[in-house]
Structure 1
Amino acid sequence: MDQQIEKSVLFRQLILNTRKPLVFRKFPTNWKCFDCSIEDWCKRFDANQSKEHSPEFEKMPTKFGDIPQWERFRSKLTTTFTNFLEKYSKDEENWSAFYYEPNTQIPIECRYDIDFSCFGFSKDKINDTSFWLSSKGANTPCHYDTYGCNIVVQVYGRKHWLLFPPDTKLTPIRVPYEESSVYCSENFYSPKNLDRFSIARENAFECILTEGDVLIVPRNWWHYVESLETSLSVNTWIPLKIDIDAQIDECIVKYIVESTLSQECEEKKRYILNPNQLQLITSSDELFDILQILVKNKSTEDQTDEKYSYQYLSEKEVNKLIEKCHNDVSVLPLLSPEKFDSILRDRTKRYVDMEPLHKADIHSMHEALLNAICHPNMINNIKEEFLRNIEKNCMIRYIYS
């Protein structure tokens, strides 16, 4: 077997089986589109971008209150990439970011030759990548992804990551609602104090990604991400066979959330839904059609050839694979509670006493009830009862017909 192919197979096994975050330092992806400075890459973007569709950035103040910087609070900024670099990335009072943009929104000249075969994954299966261009302070509130495991390539600049195992007792919420993202209510950007973080300080992992580094985030790991300087990263989520359970969960959550909003005004919808979900509201009939397909696939294991098996090796076997990699890969170490406190204490300097932000005249009980009903444990119980009811009522025969 060719040595490079052998290495990529080894990397794939590691990525699909690790129980802790992994980092590849200065990994040679050899993606030609990034064989230049960030300034040149941004100029190339502007030169090949349609003049009628200038990029839209999100913008937020660098000082904030004791709540996460949810997307609904962010203003919009339409400008070129070059202007972002020259002007807005140097703004000390606000951060701005071109966030979570799919590769279809990026000119081909700026994404040419990106593929994840160097990590052992087929080009045919891994087509979707997301781009994240941001200034210092831009952040993604702490959350976990319900689907896949995550490969993050740091192309330019530096980013700070805090990660926590799935069983960490953070407070899961579904308001704001975004499909496949479970947020927590803890604010890691500008906390007023450290009182709410005792639940996380014993389980924190830290990573500072620099240019050329790659981070592997295992399935369902909580993570908070913040740019330390102007940076660009690219990521993809590896589709997994076990995702089908999470997809059923997300269908149930989507039905509950959108059903409660069916008679509400647009203002309340903009409060409960993340902005990117406003155009993705699904009719009940369409949602049940999707759910029907998922239930069938779960029962018959249809289409699993399109997805990868996950954690099929033991931890002992994974450790042996890491030893084979020598200096190519390392497991993130547990962050000491003292270092964790120091990081959060420094961020309390960003806290400012703010007037309560506009709540779209939504009753606090509405938000609390949605978060309670859509709690991951509750949704799992609903799913199990739902599947039992289908089987009990012989509906499986109907679904297959």
Structure 2
Amino acid sequence: MDGHSLPSAEILKCALPKLQKPVLFRNMLRNCDGIYEWNLLKWSFSDLVEKFGDKQLSFRVGDYNKCTCALQHHCQRINPPTKSCKLTLREFSIATGDMTKERYDKWLYCDYKHMMEFNDKPEIIESLNWLKFGVDEEFGKNGLHSTIWIGSKGAHTDCHWDTYGYNLVAQIHGRKLWLLYPPSASLIPIRIPYEESTVYSKFNIYCMSMKERDLLLKIPDKPKLVILEPGDVLFVPNGWWHYVESLDNINVSVNLWGKLKTDNRARVEEALVKLMVTKMRNYKQFKNKIEYVVNECIKEEEQEKNEKTELSLEVPLKKFKPTIWTAEDLAEQYPDYIKVLHDAEEHEFKKFIEERMKRNKQYLLNEETASEDHVSNPQYDPFLESLINALCHPDVISKAAQILLEKHY
């Protein structure tokens, strides 16, 4: 098999759920003539504007140049507060068209938009599919189970890792910068702000402080930096930290979270986190949900044990050992399509940090205005936040889920 061969869907179906490192897919979405197979990639942004028509989307609006004092998702102390607005794609295009000056004032981000909300626009739903990546037919035959992300320069997703599935991300328009850290990196996991299946880092990478810079540079795990171009597809394994930022005025990407056998266990853990965060105010109502999720996890584990038993009975004379692919194996076998992400060079990472610290400097140079804009939430309780983050730490929740499953079910 030479480097010009395309990895088969069967190989990727086997490899991706077990892959431990991120990889970059290039040229996977083109046919032999070099033409994109997805209509979503064939369309210009103007085409996309026409196809979305008067459909209104919810955009978060943030300040591009100022320090926000907290994560963009975090509302307890934000300067200035992030706001939201409803815009059609045409209105978004006009708004970003005004951002032609060198110093940007605002960013706009329609993030985590489930494409099933576009059921009334079947042409958009059918404009992509993930079948080449070994995703099951019903789950990946179109964009129904995907999410779309539309933003302007500076729009970003705070550093976090996803508790469910692995992540496949296709870049459609513009460029997006990704910073990735392995699960072992000490990026201080927090659960406030709470979002199901999302474990945020305490680091505000978008607008970094000197203290955060010093702590990041001391982390022994090396980060990976990659810029996605249109047509690129990034695979992010479960548990990998990632921070994402739009580099261009108009940016569109789509993603799909592939299913893993560990997802049911992760849902038990997420149910425990939600129970803690809600401080058991709706415990009677929530109790039924957590019992359901636990039982589903038990069923999954029992089914897997039965499958292993049946397999051992069928082939008693030889051991069954599935092929385990590594990122390096795939890249060596399919060099025209798969690239291993290398650790960022020291000078490259320092430049990345310096660029984000400039936003902090711009904020500090205008301390008087910043002080006036500062918003403090009187209901904010720092001790309660620390307590929740401690009790909902991934290590604590994992142990609690293990005890719950072993001792009570």
- TM-score range normalised by the length of the shorter chain: 0.7 to 0.9
Q: 1:302 to 1:290 in 2, by over 3 A?
A: farther
User: Is the Cα–Cα contact under 8 Å of residues 180 and 225 in structure 2 kept in the other structure?
Assistant: yes
Given the alignment of the two structures, is residue 163 of structure 1 paired with residue 180 of structure 2, yes or no?
yes
Q: Corresponding residue for 1:78?
A: 86
State the Cα distance separating 1:342 from its structure 2 match: 1.5
Evaluate the alpha carbon distance shift between residue 324 and residue 17 of structure 1 in structure 2; reply closer, same or farther with a 3 A threshold: same
Aligned to 2:397, the other structure's residue is in SS state helix
SS in 1 for 2:138: coil
Deviation at 1:189, TM superposition (A): 0.5
Partner Cα distance (2:154, 2:388) in 1: 30
Shift of 1:156: 0.7
Equivalent-residue separation in structure 2 for 1:196 and 1:66 (angstroms): 17
More off after superposition, 222-231 vs 187-196:
187-196
> Structure 1 length normalisation: TM-score?
0.82
Contact 2:174 2:251 in 1 (8 A): yes
Q: Quote the Cα distance in structure 2 between the aligned partners of 1:56 and 1:244.
A: 30
Quickly say closer, same or farther: Cα 1:122–1:5, change in 2 above 3 A: farther
Contact 1:169 1:199 in 2 (8 A): no
- Report the counterpart of residue 135 of structure 1 in structure 2: 152
Query: Which residue of 265, 281, 295 maps to 1:245?
Result: 265
- Residue 102 of structure 1: which of 74, 91, 114 is its match? 114
Tell me the secondary structure at the aligned position of residue 160 of structure 2: strand
Q: Helix, strand or coil: the match of 2:279? A: helix
Structure-1 residue corresponding to 2:287:
285
Find the counterpart in structure 2 of residue 258 from structure 1: 278
Could you give the per-residue CA deviations for residues 248-284 of structure 1, whole angstroms, max 9, x where no partner exists?
1111111111125x39xxxxxxxxxxxxxxxxx9922
Q: Which string of whole-angstrom CA distances, capped at 9 and with x for unpartnered residues, describes residues 282-337 of structure 1?
A: 922332332342343244137999xxxxx96546x653333221211100000123
Query: 1:363 maps to what in 2?
Result: 381
Asked if 1:190 is matched to 2:197, the reply is no
2:13 touches 2:134 (CA, 8 Å); kept in 1?
yes
1:65 is displaced (CA, Å) by: 3.5
Distance of 1:201 and 1:348 partners within structure 2: 21
Aligned residue number for residue 340 of structure 1: 349
When residues 333 and 4 of structure 1 are mapped into structure 2, their CA distance, relative to the original with a 3 A threshold, is closer
For 1:267, the equivalent position in structure 2 comes to none
What is the SS of the residue equivalent to 1:40? helix
Percent same amino acid at aligned positions?
28
Distance change in 2, residues 1:32/1:221 (3 Å): same
Indicate conservation of the 8 Å contact 1:5/1:120, yes or no: no
Is the 1:57–1:97 contact (alpha carbons within 8 Å) kept by the matching residues of 2? Answer: yes
* Aligned equivalents of 2:108, 2:127: Cα separation in 1: 27
3-state SS of 1:219 partner:
coil
Distance 1:96 1:89, change over 3 A: farther
Deviation at 1:22, TM superposition (A): 0.5
1:222 to 241, 244, 250: 241
Partner secondary structure for residue 275 of structure 2: helix
In structure 1, the residue matched to 2:191 is 174
Aligned to 2:34: none
Partners of 1:333 and 1:6 in 2: how far apart?
A: 21
Partner deviation per Cα, 1:173-199 (whole Å, 9 max, x = no partner) = 000011100000001101122223124
How far apart, CA to CA, are the structure 1 residues paired with 2:195 and 2:87?
A: 26
AA at the equivalent of 1:70: H
Which one of the candidate residues 46, 70, 89 is aligned to 1:67?
Answer: 70
Could you tell me which amino acid in structure 2 is paired with residue 58 of structure 1? R
Whole-Å separation in 2 of the counterparts to 1:346 and 1:291: 44
Q: Name the counterpart of 2:8.
A: 7
Report the equivalent of 2:359.
350
Number of residue pairs aligned between Structure 1 and Structure 2: 360
- Letter matched to residue 88 of structure 1: T
Q: Residue 58 in 1 paired to residue 53 in 2?
A: no
Distance 2:174 2:220 in 1: 27
* Secondary structure, counterpart of 2:50 in structure 1: helix
1:384 to partner: Cα distance: 2.0
Q: Distance in 2 between matches of 1:138 and 1:312?
A: 42
For residues 177 and 382 of structure 2, the distance between their equivalents in structure 1, rounded to whole angstroms, comes to 33
Contact 1:173-1:184 at 8 Å conserved across structures: yes
> In structure 1, the residue corresponding to 2:191 is in which secondary structure?
strand
Shift of 1:364: 0.9
Please state how far the C-alpha of 1:88 moved relative to its aligned partner.
3.5
After superposition, the Cα gap between the structure-2 partners of 1:294 and 1:357, relative to the gap in structure 1 and judged at 3 Å, is farther
Question: Residues 223 and 303 of structure 1: is their aligned pair in 2 closer, same or farther, counting only changes over 3 Å?
Answer: farther
Cα distance, 1:312–1:371 mapped onto 2, change above 3 Å: farther
What amino acid is the match of 1:118? K
| Structure 1 letter corresponding to 2:163 | T
Query: How far apart are residue 89 of structure 1 and its match?
Result: 5.3
Instruction: Look up the SS of the partner of 2:193 in the other structure.
Output: strand
| Runs of 5+ unmatched residues, structure 2 | 31-36, 76-80, 308-320, 365-369
Give the aligned partner of residue 318 of structure 2.
none
Aligned positions of 1:137-152 closer than 5 A: 137-152=154-169
Cα deviation, 1:178-230, whole Å, max 9, x if unaligned, reads 11000000011011222231244741001100111110001110000000012
Distance 1:369 1:13, change over 3 A: same
What is the DSSP-based 3-state SS (H/G/I as helix, E as strand, rest coil) of the residue aligned with 1:283?
helix
Change (3 A) 1:93 1:115: same
Q: Partner of 1:209 in structure 2?
A: 228
Unpaired runs of 5+ in structure 1?
A: 264-280, 306-310, 391-395, 397-401
**Hey, what's the Cα distance between the residues in 2 that align with 1:57 and 1:65?**
18
2: CA distance, partners of 1:312 / 1:250:
30
Q: Judging changes above 3 Å, is the alpha-carbon distance between structure 1 residues 334 and 371 closer, same or farther for their aligned structure 2 residues?
A: same
TM-score (norm 2): 0.81
Amino acid at match of 1:204: P
Q: Is the 8 A contact 1:46 1:80 kept in 2?
A: yes
Amino acid of the residue matched to residue 245 of structure 2? E
